[in-house]
């Protein structure tokens, strides 16, 4: 499938989506979000892909929703078209792992999209922020909720109320990103992490993702019970047998379900 606002690459079981509207710093217009949904649908359906990376350019992961497109919205059309929900949240329903590789600006919807991914690896020049307050609106794709869960109320509140951007170093210190790496190694590092994931048993990876995500949706006792049920079920898989046998035989595991 040909996309106008995305570049697509598939290699070594890793599907990479590069946001590609350079003239608008990858701002999300309706076309880009629709194409992103289609690309994620295609990657999820492709058995040869075990991990997905979403990235942008070295200057901008994404500068947020397209302000020029949003400017004309009124309440009724925003509500009736189901603006945002309609095509913004596909990534949160991905069953395969999704890594955000962020360089440059990740602002507004850009920061929100990165937070919808499973983890964020960023370059030293990354800048995260929720500057919607400067436009007379507030975050609308989960920013007030997910940022608060990542970095705590005080920092999230300050960022949402003042529009201040966070550096890569601050983002790592406060738990928003898993790692900061030099800009020229960003894609190598993201691909290394993705490759490590694709070498594991795919169903075990997907169940593990589901279980970590349950930590955000459930109370502790429910979450731990859910985890325990999934853990028990793993002893019915060939990959558990292979993983433990390989350890005992002091060799690398070769999981069948990859
Ligand atoms: C549309 C955008 C854009 C955006 C940048 N551009 N961000 N177009 N929507 N969000 C365009 C500019 O108009 C300009 O086009 C070109 O990209 C380059 O941007 P500059 O501003 O010239 O670059 P620079 O001076 O380097 O500044 C970079 C920046 C700034 C700090 C990132 O562009 C900026 O503040 N952008 C807006 C960030 C923002 O407010 N994001 C939140 C959006 S609201 P021209 O044609 O002039 O060259 C949001 C709500 C989400 O995300 C809620 C869910 C839908």
Q: Distance from CA of residue 190 to its chain's centroid?
A: 12
pLDDT tens digits, 131-186: 999 999 999 999 999 999 999 999 999 999 999 999 999 999 999 999 999 999 99
pLDDT tens digits, 22-37: 999 999 999 999 999 9
pTM to 2 decimals?
0.97
Mean pLDDT value of segment 84-100: 92
Q: Would you please indicate which residues are annotated as catalytic (active-site) residues?
A: 65, 109, 112, 132
Position 81 scores a pLDDT of 86
Position 197 scores a pLDDT of 98
Distance in angstroms (rounded) separating the CA atoms of residues 132 and 113: 15
ipTM above 0.95, yes or no: yes
Sole residue written with tokens 């109370």:
219
Q: Whose CA is nearest to atom 7 of ligand 1?
A: 63
Give me ligand 1 centre to Cα 27, in Å: 7
Instruction: Tell whether ligand 1 has an atom less than 6 A from the beta carbon of residue 104.
Output: no
Closest CA to 8 of 26, 35, 48, 47: 35
Closest CA to 102 of 88, 116, 119, 123: 123
In degrees and rounded to multiples of 5, residue 14 shows phi and psi of -110, 125
Instruction: Tell whether ligand 1 has an atom less than 6 A from the beta carbon of residue 106.
Output: no
| pLDDT confidence band for 1 (50 / 70 / 90) | confident
How far lies 103's CA from each of 127, 167, 251, in Å? Answer: 8, 11, 37
Position 234 scores a pLDDT of 97
| pLDDT confidence band for 82 (50 / 70 / 90) | confident
Position 83 scores a pLDDT of 85
pLDDT tens digits, 102-118: 999 999 999 999 999 99
Give me ligand 1 centre to Cα 111, in Å: 13
Position 209 scores a pLDDT of 98
Q: Whose CA is nearest to atom 9 of ligand 1?
A: 66
Mean pLDDT value of segment 74-89: 87
The DSSP output letter for 102 is E
pLDDT at 85 over 80: no
Position 241 scores a pLDDT of 97
Q: Whose CA is nearest to atom 24 of ligand 1?
A: 25
Distance in angstroms (rounded) separating the CA atoms of residues 60 and 69: 19
How far lies 120's CA from each of 99, 117, 141, 161, 255, in Å? Answer: 6, 7, 17, 23, 26
Mean pLDDT of the chain: 96
DSSP string covering 160-219: HHH---EEHHHHHHTTS-SEEE-GGGHHHHHHHHHHHHHTS-HHHHHHHHHHHHHHHHS-
pLDDT tens digits, 192-237: 999 999 999 999 999 999 999 999 999 999 999 999 999 999 999 9
């Amino acid at each position: 499938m040909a996309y106008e606002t995305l570049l697509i690459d598939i290699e070594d079981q890793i599907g990479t989506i590069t946001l590609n509207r350079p003239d608008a710093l990858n701002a999300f217009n309706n076309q880009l979000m629709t194409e992103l949904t289609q690309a994620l649908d295609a990657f999820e359906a492709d058995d040869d892909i075990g991990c997905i990376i979403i990235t942008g350019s070295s200057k901008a992961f994404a500068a947020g929703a397209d302000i020029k497109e949003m400017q004309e919205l009124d309440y009724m059309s925003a509500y009736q078209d189901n603006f945002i929900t309609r095509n913004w949240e596909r990534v949160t329903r991905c069953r395969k792992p999704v890594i955000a590789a962020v360089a440059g600006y990740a602002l507004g919807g850009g920061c929100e999209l990165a937070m919808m991914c499973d983890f964020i690896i960023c370059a030293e020049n990354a800048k995260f922020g929720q500057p919607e307050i400067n436009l007379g609106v507030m975050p609308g794709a989960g920013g007030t909720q997910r940022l608060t869960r990542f970095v705590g109320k005080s920092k999230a509140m300050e960022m949402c109320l003042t529009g201040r951007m966070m550096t890569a170093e601050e983002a790592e210190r406060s738990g928003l990103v898993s790692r900061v790496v030099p800009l020229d190694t960003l894609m190598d590092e993201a691909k290394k992490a993705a490759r490590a994931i694709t070498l594991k048993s795919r169903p075990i990876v997907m169940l593990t993702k589901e279980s970590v995500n349950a930590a955000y949706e459930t109370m502790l006792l429910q979450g731990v019970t859910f985890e325990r049920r999934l853990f028990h079920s793993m002893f019915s898989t060939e990959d558990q047998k292979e993983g433990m046998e390989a350890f005992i035989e002091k060799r690398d595991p070769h999981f069948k379900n990859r």
